[in-house]
Structure 1
Amino acid sequence: MPSSNQDKHCIFPPAEAVQRWMKKAFTSAEVEADSASFCYLARTNARVRELNETIRRWRYGDDIPTPVKPVESALFRADVIVDEGLVFTNNQEAKVLEIERSILSQDC
């Protein structure tokens, strides 16, 4: 039985070609309609952060005053409970609809 890797090849294009492809993909109508339509695999969290910042600059410009913008998705790192009801669970993703200033207080 032949190896499943037989006749498979990897291509490593020049960095500038990758940048052009990424910009075209991540600013396209397809990604606007479905943010999961394109993926870029990175090995480290630092590289993921760098890629996310680059893609956000391409999509929204350099002046982004908040950590996320309306229309972007956010991933919750902890459960969100409001009035004793579970609103979002840990690792749940949700689209940001609006951002408004607020104060977080915790009764101890």
Structure 2
Amino acid sequence: MIATDHAPHSAEEKSRGLEKSLMGVVGLETAFPILYTKLVKTGVLSLEKLIELMHTNPRNRFCVGTPLEEGQPASLTVYDLDKEYTINPDDFLSMGRATPFAGEKVLVPAG
């Protein structure tokens, strides 16, 4: 199972030094593009396995949502899996901007 913890912090909350700042980095907007680029496109995982790890397993473990099956309601995101994107924290829709992936080239938009 692969999951993210969406708990965004403002730049002010992250600028208090290592011991006083709230911990964490943006994962919600970067997880799929990073994992797709680094694991699927390199042949480590299939796209189906990544979807299982990021969607099916968390859904089953936490008993939320419906199966991703024909006839079931679903909230979907459509990606162009061959579009290159450079991760830019200024593009994030989240309040959080802290990411170790700024400037990283990925396949699919992340923000």
From the two aligned structures, give the one with the greater strand fraction: 1
Q: Normalising by the residue count of structure 1, what TM-score does the alignment of the two structures yield? A: 0.29
Larger Rg: 1
From the two aligned structures, give the one with the greater helix fraction: 1
Q: Normalising by the residue count of structure 2, what TM-score does the alignment of the two structures yield? A: 0.28
